[in-house]
């Protein structure tokens, strides 16, 4: 049971993350998409499946969004109605999108016992429910374990991400999932601060494959730090997607070694932010490979 593994702070867990299809799709198309994903998910046999609840993040960035925002199915509906898999799920919940009664109702009826509670994209965003209150409501459900996000880029700007994490742990957070990582130096500094703060709950490092400059531009638009050296390396490569995979392997290997030496409990979360088949297949193959690598350690 994945919840027990989290609560027991088991090391080396591997997750795969995806976004549900657009809510506007017809039923036939939703079934076609979910059937393909069911086969993919069952093939990689990850420890857990992360299903994002998407929010329009335009308020976090003044630049024009690289791709138009579209609403998607809820994680609960996608997992329980469309995906046919025994892989346990972790649902993202955008706290500000709920009021107290609707969040309680969602917790009560959901088919997953793990959630990640997500706050506002910035302090100016209008929300129905604060992140703190969402954590308090989650504590009313004995069979529910909740986590939160951690962002190395925010730590680079404000220097207080481990303190934020400790506050969330005090509210009930049992694990963290990071924003996508392309900047190894920035992330290592963040993890060093986590080690100093003695954060011992699982921290899942997220990595996202990029098959072309437009995908990378979208990743950057989401707030992910991509060093110029990494971007130049990708642009000079004859195989952009394969190079991004190689970069991920190098960064993950370095951070994993750093985490092991500094007593951190690091897990892995692989995602593909785009619906492009090549990028999806690369992310799935990477997840499978790194999961087997972790087993050998």
**pLDDT tens digit sequence for 180-231:** 999 999 999 999 999 999 999 999 999 999 999 999 999 999 999 999 999 9
Q: How confident is the model at residue 125 (pLDDT cuts 50, 70, 90)?
A: low
**pLDDT tens digit sequence for 221-243:** 999 999 999 999 999 999 999 99
Of residues 285, 275, 203, the one with CA closest to residue 244: 285
User: What is the CA angle 102-105-109, rounded to 5?
Assistant: 145
Most distant pair of Cα atoms in the chain: their distance:
53
**pLDDT tens digit sequence for 2-51:** 999 998 999 889 999 999 999 999 999 999 999 999 999 999 999 999 99
The residue to which tokens 């996508």 are assigned: 180
Q: How confident is the model at residue 54 (pLDDT cuts 50, 70, 90)?
A: confident
- d(C-alpha 125, C-alpha 105), whole Å: 24
Task: Judge contact between 176 and 206, C-beta under 8 A.
Answer: no
What's residue 297's pLDDT? 42
What's the mean per-residue pLDDT of the chain? 91
**What are the residues facing 203 on neighbouring strands?**
176, 266
Of residues 275, 288, 292, the one with CA closest to residue 25: 275
Mark 220-232 as b/e (b = at least 16 C-beta within 10 Å). Answer: bbbebbbeeebbe
What's residue 65's pLDDT? 41
pTM to 2 decimals?
Answer: 0.92
**pLDDT tens digit sequence for 97-121:** 999 999 999 999 888 999 999 987 7
Strands (E), the chain: 14-18, 48-51, 89-94, 114-118, 145-150, 173-180, 203-208, 266-271
Tell me how crowded residue 57 is: count the other CB atoms within 10 A of its CB.
Answer: 15
Q: Which two tokens stand for residue 282?
A: 């690369």
Phi-psi region of 223 (alpha: psi -120 to 50; beta: other; left: phi over 0): left
How do the domains of the chain map onto residue ranges?
A: 2-296
Average pLDDT over residues 238-254: 97
Q: 60 vs 48, which has greater pLDDT?
A: 48
CATH 2.60.40.420 corresponds to the domain 2-296: no
HSE at residue 91, side-chain half, CA atoms within 13 A, is 22
Class of residue 258 by CB neighbours under 10 A (exposed 0-12, middle 13-18, buried 19+): middle
Q: 144 vs 70, which has greater pLDDT?
A: 144
């Amino acid at each position: 049971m994945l919840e027990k593994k989290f609560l027991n702070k088991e090391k080396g867990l591997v997750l795969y993350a995806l976004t549900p299809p657009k809510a506007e799709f017809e039923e036939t198309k939703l079934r076609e998409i979910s059937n393909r994903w069911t086969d993919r998910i069952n093939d990689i046999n990850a420890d857990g499946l992360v299903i994002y609840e998407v929010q329009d993040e335009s308020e976090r960035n003044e630049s024009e969004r690289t791709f138009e925002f579209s609403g998607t199915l809820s994680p609960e509906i996608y997992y329980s109605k469309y995906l046919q898999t025994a892989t346990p799920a972790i649902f993202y919940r955008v706290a500000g999108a709920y009021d107290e009664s609707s969040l309680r109702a969602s917790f009560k009826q959901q088919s997953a016992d793990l959630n990640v509670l997500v706050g506002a994209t910035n302090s100016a965003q209008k929300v129905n429910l604060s992140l703190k209150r969402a954590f308090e409501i989650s504590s009313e459900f004995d069979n529910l374990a909740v986590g939160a996000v951690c962002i190395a880029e925010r730590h680079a700007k404000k220097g207080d991400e481990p303190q934020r994490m400790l506050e969330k742990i005090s509210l009930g957070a049992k694990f963290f999932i990071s924003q996508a990582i392309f900047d190894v130096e920035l992330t290592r500094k963040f993890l060093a601060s986590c080690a100093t703060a003695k954060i011992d709950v699982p921290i899942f490092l997220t990595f996202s494959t990029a098959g072309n400059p437009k995908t990378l531009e979208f990743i950057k638009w989401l707030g992910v730090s991509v060093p110029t050296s990494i971007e130049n390396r990708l642009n000079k490569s004859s195989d952009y997607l394969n190079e991004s995979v190689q970069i991920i392997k190098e960064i993950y290997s370095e951070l994993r070694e750093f985490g092991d030496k500094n007593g951190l409990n690091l897990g892995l979360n692989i995602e593909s932010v785009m619906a492009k088949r090549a990028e999806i297949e690369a992310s799935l193959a990477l997840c499978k490979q790194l999961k087997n690598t972790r087993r050998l350690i």
